[in-house]
Structure 1
Amino acid sequence: MPKLFKDNPWFFVAFALFLLGGIPFLAADQGTLLIQVNDHRSPGADLFFRWFTKVGEGYGYLVVFLGLFIYKRRAAWGVPLLGIAVSLVAWVGKTLFQHPRPYLYFEQQGLLAQLELIPGVKINKGLTSFPSGHTMAAFALFSFLAFCFPRKPWLSISCFCVALLVGFSRMYLVQHFFKDVYLGAFLGLGLGMLAYYILNQLEQKLLVKV
């Protein structure tokens, strides 16, 4: 694990800044923060985030899998492993916590009229807000991708920014609160590190046998 930090300082520094910078937002009222994001919408951003959020779904995983299959075939098999792990952890978390989605939260508070929803976006309304599965999936996938190509600052920062934008998209689309995104990012990075570690250990054992 120490080598992982040493080889990918840019990603971990960016993530640490996100964690530290996000602490004040965790203390803020979750509904007020989401309304502030909702108040700064624009047609261009509506279109961008509506589609970009799909990077945290199977589409993003397929693209990364194919790319790794071409350039690092063994590493590519870590992608479906991540997909399974993310799905399992997200399901356990949502089942355990059962926090209301923003739509349900504002409906229960009688404040639904304060939200302006984006046309064409299907809004989740149940008790599945915490943590954000899309954010977890994005951070797991793109931290893993950054780790597969160590000592490349531009790639590390790019991977972090993509994952962070997916997380922000979940708030922008009124699907999650900041706390959901924050924990999703933390869990996602943990899964990305674990998948890379397991894959690296398997590769080393294969090399020893050869």
Structure 2
Amino acid sequence: MPKLFKDNPWFFTIFALFLLGGIPLLFANQGTLLIQLNDHRSSWADFFFRWFTKVGEGYGYLAVFLILFVYKRRAAWGIPLLGVAVSLVAWLGKTLFHHPRPYRYFEQQGLLAQLHLIPGIEMHKGLTSFPSGHTMAAFALFSFFAFCFPRKPWLSITCFCIASLVGLSRMYLVQHFFEDVYLGAILGVGLGILAYYVLNQIEQKILARV
């Protein structure tokens, strides 16, 4: 495990800065944060985030799997493992916490009129806000991808930015609060580390038998 951190200093340094910088936002009013973000909407951002959020769905899994299948075939089989793990952890978290989605929260607070929703986006209204599954999936996928190509600062930074934009998209689209995204990122990186470690252990055992 120490080798993983040593081989990917840029990713873990940026992630640590994200975690530290996000702490004050956890103590801020989550509804106010979303309203402030919502006030800065633009047509180009509406279009961008509406489609970029899909990176945290099956499209992202497929893209990363195909890239790894071409360049690091054995590592590609970690993607199905991540898919199962992310789905399970997201389901457990949402079932355990039962936090209301932003739409439901603002509706209960009588503040729904303050939101400017994006046409064509299906608004989730249940008690499934915490944590953000899209964010978890993105951070799991792209942390794992970065780990598969160690000592490449530009790739680590790119992977972190992609995952972060998915998290931001969930807030921009008024589907999650910052706390949902924050925990989703932590869980996602944790699952990325776990998947990489498990795959590495399996690979070492296979090579030992050859």
TM range (shorter): over 0.9
How many angstroms does 1:139 deviate by? Answer: 0.2
1:48-89 CA distance string (max 9 Å, x none): 000000000000000110110011000000001000000000
Output the CA distance in 2 between the equivalents of 1:110 and 1:135: 28
Write the mapping of 1:118-129 to structure 2, written as runs, cut at 5 A.
118-129=118-129
Distance in 1 of aligned mates of 2:164 and 2:20: 14
What do the CA deviations read for 1:148-184 (whole angstroms, capped 9, x no partner)? 0000000000000000000000000000000000000
State the match for 2:90 in structure 1: 90
Matched, 1:30 2:23: no
CA distance in 2 between partners of 1:111 and 1:71 (Å): 50
Stretches of 4+ aligned residues off by more than 3 angstroms: none
When the two structures are superposed, what TM-score results if normalisation uses the length of structure 2? 1.00
Amino acid at match of 2:14: A
Report the equivalent of 2:111. 111
CA deviations 1:19-68 (Å, max 9, x no partner) are 00001100000000000000000000000000000000000000110110
Rounded Cα–Cα distance in structure 2 between residues aligned with 1:147 and 1:179: 26
Matched, 1:196 2:196: yes
Q: Write the distance in 2 (CA, Å) between the matches of 1:209 and 1:153.
A: 34
- 1:206 to partner: Cα distance: 0.7
Shift of 1:17: 0.4
* Amino acid paired to 1:129: S
Partner SS for 2:180: helix
Taking only the aligned residue pairs, the percentage that are identical comes to: 83
Query: How many Å separate the matches in 2 of 1:176 and 1:21?
Result: 19
CA distance in 1, matches of 2:126, 2:197: 35
Matches within 5 A, 1:168-179: 168-179=168-179
Alignment-derived partner of residue 139 in structure 1: 139
Q: Which runs of 5+ in 2 are unaligned?
A: none
Whole-angstrom CA distance in 2 between matches of 1:41 and 1:110: 21
Matches within 5 A, 1:71-90: 71-90=71-90
- Work out the CA distance in 2 between the residues paired with 1:123 and 1:100: 12
CA distance in structure 2 between the partners assigned to 1:93 and 1:147 by the alignment: 25
Quick one: distance in 2 between partners of 1:29 and 1:64?
35
Instruction: Determine the C-alpha separation between the residues in 2 that align with 1:159 and 1:141.
Output: 9
- 1:44 has 2:64 as partner: no
Question: How far, CA to CA, are the matches of 1:200 and 1:36 in structure 2?
Answer: 43
Give TM-score, length-normalised by structure 1. 1.00
The amino acid of 1:86's aligned partner reads: V
Aligned residue in 2 for 1:165: 165
1:189 Cα deviation (Å)? 0.3
How far apart, in 1, do the equivalents of 2:136 and 2:82 lie?
Answer: 10
Q: Using the alignment, how far apart are the partners of 1:201 and 1:132 within structure 2?
A: 29
